[in-house]
Amino acid sequence: MPTATPISRVNDFVIRFANVNGSGSASANEMFARAVMRMGVPVAPRNIFPSNIQGLPTWYEVRVSEAGHLGARGGTDLMVAMNPQTFDRDIAGIEPGGYLFYDSTKPLPPSKFRDDITVIGVPLTAICNREYSDPRQRQLFKNIIYIGALTALLDIDVKVVEQLIGEQYKGKDKLIEPNIKALHIGRDYAILNLQCPLGIKLKRANAVGDRIFIEGNSAAALGAVYGGATVCAWYPITPSSSLADAFTRHCAKLRVDPGTKQAKYAIIQAEDELASIGIVIGAGWNGARAFTATSGPGISLMQEFIGLAYFAEIPAVLFDVQRAGPSTGMPTRTQQCDVMSCAYASHGDTKHVLLFPEGPAEAFDFSAQAFDLADRLQTPIFVMLDLDIGMNHHLSKPLTWDDKRKYDRGKVMTAAELEAGKEFGRYLDVDGDGIPYRTYPGTHPTKGAFFTRGTSRDRYARYTEEGAPYVDNMQRLIRKFDTAKDLVPRPLLATAGKASKYGVIYYGSTSPAMDEAIHMIEARGHALDRMRIRAFPFHSSVNSFVADHDFVFVVEQNRDAQLRSLIVNECGIDPVRLVPILHYDGTPITARFIAKAVGDHLDKLTVKQTKVTS
Amino acid sequence: MTYLAKPKFHHPELPKNALGYTHRDYEGSVSTLCAGCGHDSITAAIIQACFELSIEPHRVAKISGIGCSSKTPTYFLGNSHGFNSVHGRMPSVLTGANLANRDLIYLGVSGDGDSASIGLGQFAHCLRRGVNMVYIVENNGVYGLTKGQFSATADRGSKSKRGFINTDNSIDLVAMALQLGASFVARSFSGDKHQLVPIIKAAIAHKGAAFIDVISPCVAFNNHAGSTKSFDFVREHNEAVNRLDFISSRMPIEVKYEPGTVEVVEQHDGSKLALRKLAADYELHDRTAALGFLQHHAAKGQIVTGLLYVEQEPEDLHAHLRTVDSPLNALDEKELCPGQAALDKFNASLR
């Protein structure tokens, strides 16, 4: 018996699979997560993988939470330790009272285990060697066998997994039966030899509703299809490649003319990120909706072109699926570390519009909206995703679209308007919102042509190096940026149950962990108002939120408190009023981390105040 | 004289083309380049070619990089949209523009620094993709705007105005274009309008990646003794393989030359190129032979000019991508947005 009481919880635990990259474990583990969802229990899987194709350690973490907490929690209740390389540290990561599932074919000395956990051994290798002669089959079926054992140990309805196997191998039907057989080999072994179920287990629930299971990159790519993107140029880089892949897949289904089989899209895998953004800008200049998908190193390479698009006022959409930098950094780990490099991208005075979706549903919405914003504002729009949002499956509310919605193509002067004698000045602010009219190339035989350049120009696009027209133009660009404040998604405010002197600002993938952390913070006796920022430039409510509180925590996933700096800089706020809470080790931020950091800070404050008053 | 605006009036009896436009309708603003610059002659050749082809001036998109050559699109086709983009990156911007609207004519103008030095990568990749365009390099072997540094097309051993000898090997963009799969490859000389104008016309009619390297001496920094891109040097070493007459599909073919010395090439759009062959052994449709011929003459110090290679049935990038016939920038939400019904199906597949 373990020295700690075994954890006993229904529909509320974290299971972590430790595997070797390239062993075929990913699809088996994903099937496990889907099975939990199909049982009506909310699930949040996270894939922690190396920048490698075969041989290095990889983990798949599945958080099961009927209460609906979908952020990373931290800690592991059940470790499925399938990788000898990481065995020791995997065991160290188990919560006291937790469970270890391992391959017991080769006996291990007691020193390899802990006395405060429950150890469950299944001789997986021995079973596979007995059942299969082909080495590849031995490896692949081992994954399904442990899933089978887990169905018994965790009380998962085996019919659900059988159905998932049927769906996964639809079209390759001869694979269905051997997989189901392997599933039952594992399940039968567990039922015969182990005490089933464990203290942690599943029970059918009805807490998933109509939610869908989707990766953020796929949702963002679909948003680009719905938003009318016709040109995509990209260069492969983790963690954004799957966005371009998903766009290719969605387009093949949704954008091919059924009669002619011709494509209503063009996708170019460019030679580098410079060419990617160049193609996007060329297409945007010529009136098509175009985007690129990249990550931090790509943004670095695109800097010169981003400045051109800002200054020459050309619509473009950039998806930055952020990963841990600087330099190559941790290419398969998540961070929110490109906020600054995108907000002020390129040389000279520039400012750019950033959108911060929290997960797949907003990734879809903001992606489609980004194309309207790019056309309306005639400027690059950055959709700031990260590896956690982009490459993990999330339980998300279903994607929706209003069929009455029309694209906002912005201020484009037509041949008829030119013909009627409407005044055209490419950089003329006719409406006072800083946004000028543009014409598409080829519009009119004698009117409306202009020369686009990165050099300074006057209101009629004529080259000039005079100070006054330069300043006039730069001031108009600031006016335009002010206009953007009311066009981008507004921050979302959630007030505490009782009046609070303190607030917290957060954004992007921190959202689910923050939602959970707030309960933990409240449980410690603290009230906190919350604001989730969804875009830059900041709406005026950001200033008032900070003004309304003694101080505000800013929670982010980078070292340098980049969003906090942006708020200080753009809103003219005294930095002492913004307390940074920073998580940047490359793993997704957890509720436990936020609750502890914020809670400890507020506890100290309470102690101090008590001292002062006593 | 560049501070003077170009006068708008013109002779009432200027000849008009099929569309009723005069030569003046294809001009741009006054050049700000040095007097005698070879680039201005190329500008004049482009104007002449577009006038003779009766192109609607606004149906051309002029795209360039950065440098003296890249300034020239301001000086021709004033009713066309132009884009002076980023140094060395004209090809990507042009590629994107072309994807957005396949119905316009794309004229990319670049220089030797722009294409062979900073932009060599983009030069290569847009040619291998087969973008339907005319890509002109105004090649003078030096950086003019920064006052006379060598570019990557400067020949080894050539001397700069300040007396430095170039010790690096030069890049021959024509040889590279052939190797990279451009479907129309030519070289000409800014001082040879009779050769250059028909080449530009043929390139515009060509439905694929057309590359023209035009040797264009820099009167300020590369026209001295010891330079291999000077007027004198190029005139002395020019080895023209052919002279071209371009016949659009509307005109009857009148071949006036001696049989055996003329080769008629029909392009996909029905236009015809009548080539007066100057080098009897020159094979126009054989990439490998063209490369061999080029290198053989380069070794002898000769600069081969003329139409060097043409593919009669080229395929362009839109054909590779199987894009719809209408321009992508003309498609609206009815064409592009699959709507809630498709989304319902998608959602259902993810549960």
pLDDT in tens, B146-158: 888 999 999 999 9
Distance from CA of B285 to the nearest CA of A (A): 28
Confidence at B255, pLDDT banded by 50, 70, 90: very low
Same structural domain for residues A166 and A195?
yes
CATH number, domain containing residue A343: 3.40.50.970
* A452 → closest Cβ in B57, B83, B337: B83
Q: Is residue A208 part of a domain?
A: no
Tokens of B227: 């330079």
Distance from CA of B270 to the nearest CA of A (A): 24
Q: Residue B259 has what pLDDT?
A: 47
* B99 → closest Cβ in A262, A272, A288: A288
Q: Is residue A380 part of a domain?
A: yes
User: Domains in chain B, ordered, with CATH?
Assistant: 23-334 (3.40.50.970)
Q: Residue B140 has what pLDDT?
A: 92
A-chain residues near B125 (CB < 8 A)? 270-271, 275
Same structural domain for residues A428 and A502?
no
- Answer with the one of A201, A235, A254 that is the final residue of a domain: A201
Q: Residue B350 has what pLDDT?
A: 96
Is a pLDDT exceeding 60 seen at residue B1? Answer: no
As a residue count, chain B comes to: 351
pLDDT beneath 70: ranges in chain A: 1, 610-614
Q: Give Cβ neighbours of residue A197 (< 8 Å, ≥ 6 apart).
A: A152, A153, A154, A155
* B96 → closest Cβ in A214, A290, A308: A290
| Cross-chain residue pair B328–A282, CB shorter than 8 Å | no
Same structural domain for residues A419 and A374?
no
Q: What is the mean pLDDT of residues B30-53?
A: 95
- Answer with the one of A178, A201, A224 that is the final residue of a domain: A201
* B336 → closest Cβ in A264, A280, A308: A264
Same structural domain for residues A530 and A484?
no
Same structural domain for residues A243 and A172?
no
pLDDT in tens, A195-251: 999 999 999 999 999 999 999 999 999 999 999 999 999 999 999 999 999 999 999
Is the CB of A267 inside 8 Å of chain B's CB atoms? yes
Identity of the residue numbered A423: E
CA A9, A10, A13, A18 dihedral sign is: positive
Q: Residue A607 has what pLDDT?
A: 76
B62 closest CA partner among B132, B134, B138: B134
| Cross-chain residue pair A283–B61, CB shorter than 8 Å | no
CA B221, B226, B228, B232 dihedral sign is: positive
Domain count, chain A: 4
Is the CB of A40 inside 8 Å of chain B's CB atoms? no
Q: Residue B241 has what pLDDT?
A: 87
A-chain residues near B89 (CB < 8 A)? 274-275, 278, 305
Can you say whether residue A313 is alpha, beta or left, with left for phi > 0 and alpha for psi between -120 and 50 degrees? left
Q: Residue B44 has what pLDDT?
A: 97
| Cross-chain residue pair A213–B63, CB shorter than 8 Å | no
Q: Is residue A404 part of a domain?
A: no
Q: Which residue of B has its CA nearest to A280?
A: B96
pLDDT in tens, B13-29: 889 999 999 999 999 99
How high is the ipTM of this complex? 0.95
pLDDT in tens, A304-322: 999 999 999 999 999 999 9
Same structural domain for residues A55 and A91?
yes
Is the CB of A445 inside 8 Å of chain B's CB atoms? yes
Q: Is residue A2 part of a domain?
A: no
Q: What is the mean pLDDT of residues B260-278?
A: 75
* A264 → closest Cβ in B91, B97, B324: B324
Count CB atoms within 10 A of the CB of residue B1: 7
> Do the Cβ atoms of A302 and A243 come closer than 8 Å?
no
Same structural domain for residues A29 and A165?
yes
Task: Report the SS3 class of residue B265.
Answer: strand
B-chain residues near A278 (CB < 8 A)? 85-86, 89, 91-93, 95-96, 122
> Do the Cβ atoms of B279 and B320 come closer than 8 Å?
no
Same structural domain for residues A258 and A321?
yes
Q: Is residue A402 part of a domain?
A: no
Give the CA dihedral A301, A302, A307, A310, nearest 10 degrees: -160
pLDDT in tens, A40-53: 999 999 999 888 88
> Do the Cβ atoms of B217 and B231 come closer than 8 Å?
yes
Same structural domain for residues A15 and A120?
yes
pLDDT in tens, B63-85: 999 999 999 999 999 999 999 99
Same structural domain for residues A586 and A498?
yes
- Answer with the one of A446, A465, A488 that is the final residue of a domain: A488
* A282 → closest Cβ in B96, B125, B333: B96
Q: Residue B9 has what pLDDT?
A: 73
Same structural domain for residues A482 and A496?
no
Q: Is residue A92 part of a domain?
A: yes
Domain that holds residue A58: 9-201
Identity of the residue numbered B33: L
Is the CB of A167 inside 8 Å of chain B's CB atoms? no
Same structural domain for residues A519 and A544?
yes
